[in-house]
Amino acid sequence: MTRQEALDAFYSTLEDLTIRLNGCRYLKDCTGKSGWPQRGIYFFFEDGEFRADGATPRVVRVGTHAVSLKSKTTLWDRLRTHRGHSDGRGNHRGSIFRKRVGESILRTGSFPQHLNDTWGRGSSALKSVREAEKVLELEVSRYIGRMPLLWIDVDDAPSKDSFRAYLERNSIALLSNFRKSVIDPPSRNWLGSKATEETIRESGLWNTNHVDGVYEPDFLDLLRRYISSA
């Protein structure tokens, strides 16, 4: 099976998932009471981003959680960190996704450039710094909040060898164009094209891990099995 054929099979499986879930959700509309599985894997899409056919929405980020032993993080815990608070604020120091989106927004030149001096610096920050960053945190929340989202219930034990980690790793490796022949490239206006990380710009994904990996074609069978039970 060629990579093109594997990608076609992957997206066909996600079409089935979309039907089973009655469509995508938007993170801005979600709460902890939206009916999430305890553990799972998620797929983000983005307005204006399509496959080469111009019609099929293109996955722009794949993620999971609780891949460390004894981790108690739930799927909603992870998604809530990406979404930010209900008032639009957020903490990009707790979400690498938020951090990367914020960096890219800064590189558009539409926000004060002095924010480059603090954005993403350290695991915590003074209140005065967080207040100064608020305007960008709000924009990141707005941007991520309007991304369509699909998810799969994969409730196995936390581990780097979990099925969730396996599916995430292989999905990213398949979708990524990093140092590979380009299939389903991002649009010319994709915000990720301004990312500081080469892995994001070249892969076409808001991911940095696993983008240079090699996928195992058999992972598609496991993906289908989980989706068929959704």
CB atoms under 10 Å from CB of 141, counted, come to: 24
Q: How far apart (Å, rounded) are the C-alpha atoms in residues 206 and 196?
A: 11
Question: What number is the average pLDDT over the span 20-40?
Answer: 95
Confidence of residue 19 (pLDDT cuts 50, 70, 90): very high
> What would the pLDDT profile of 129-175 be if each residue is shown by its tens digit?
999 999 999 999 999 999 999 999 999 989 889 999 999 999 999 99
The dihedral region occupied by 23, where left means phi > 0, alpha psi between -120 and 50, and beta the remainder, is: left
pLDDT of residue 13: 97
Mean pLDDT for the stretch of residues 203-222: 97
Q: What is the pLDDT of residues 77-109, one digit of tens each?
A: 999 999 998 888 899 999 999 999 999 999 999
Q: Which two tokens stand for residue 90?
A: 């957020």
For residue 185, which amino acid is it? Answer: P
Cα separation, 108 vs 186, in Å, equals 17
Say what the pTM is: 0.95
For 179, the 3-state DSSP assignment is: coil
Beta bridge partners of 151: 42
**Contacts with 107 (C-beta within 8 Å, 6 or more apart), sequence order:** 194, 195, 196
Percentage of residues in the chain having pLDDT higher than 90:
88
1-5, long-range: CB < 8 A, 24+ apart: 1/217, 3/174, 3/180, 3/181, 3/183, 4/183
Q: Going by C-beta distance under 8 Å and a sequence separation of 6 or more, which residues neighbour residue 218?
A: none
8 Å CB contact between 72 and 66: yes
Residue 66 has pLDDT above 90, yes or no: no
